Amino acid sequence: MAETKSNSPPPPPTLCYWDIRGLGEPIRLLLAYKGVEYEDKRMAFDPMPAFRETWMKEKYTSGLPFPNLPYWIDGDVKITQSLAVLRYLGAKHDLEAKDAEQAAKLDMVAQATNDMRMGNFIMKFLDPKYADNKEGLLLDLGRKVQELSDYLGDKQWMGGEEITYV
């Protein structure tokens, strides 16, 4: 009996993250910019411990090498960690660095913005004295935003004159 090949198209890639912007939003923005069709799978970000239980049901059954959110599955490609997903999509959709120097600078900016975002998140949601320290934290955030602005300078994009994944 002859084998029949399926003519159906492969399923679209899947991005999975909580149903908040967070670390998933830069990935969603890149995909929208490039017009990529994908499944936007969002896990309910309910109060603890319910939101964690939702993810835990799937976490170790997805075949992910380092199970975490966000994750990106595109056929056999399975990637976790937001920066790794962004780099992969940048390379796939011609939004990556053009040389080693630009790659290092893009990594630097990506890490700086991630540190800024995560530092603010940790302080706001995990520090019981956040309200007492809010003024100082906002001052620090303002300095970090100024650093990004200074680095951008006259460039159109963080990577120079061409848009990249950062």
Query: Does residue 82 contact residue 29 with C-beta atoms inside 8 Å?
Result: no
| Cβ burial 11-42 (10 Å sphere, 16+ → b, else e) | eebebbbbeeeebbebbbebbeeeebebeebe
Please give the pLDDT value at position 54.
Answer: 79
Please give the pLDDT value at position 123.
Answer: 67
Measured CA to CA, the distance from residue 35 to residue 110 in angstroms comes to 22
Please give the pLDDT value at position 87.
Answer: 94
Please give the pLDDT value at position 3.
Answer: 58
- Model-level pTM? 0.83
pLDDT in tens, the chain (166 residues): 555 566 788 899 999 999 988 899 999 999 999 999 999 999 888 777 776 787 888 889 989 999 999 999 999 999 999 999 999 999 999 999 999 999 999 999 999 988 888 777 666 666 677 777 778 778 888 899 999 999 999 999 999 889 999 9
Please give the pLDDT value at position 39.
Answer: 98
Please give the pLDDT value at position 90.
Answer: 96
Residue with tokens 């159906």, as numbered in its chain: 8
Mapped onto helix, strand or coil, the DSSP state of residue 71 is: strand
Please give the pLDDT value at position 1.
Answer: 55
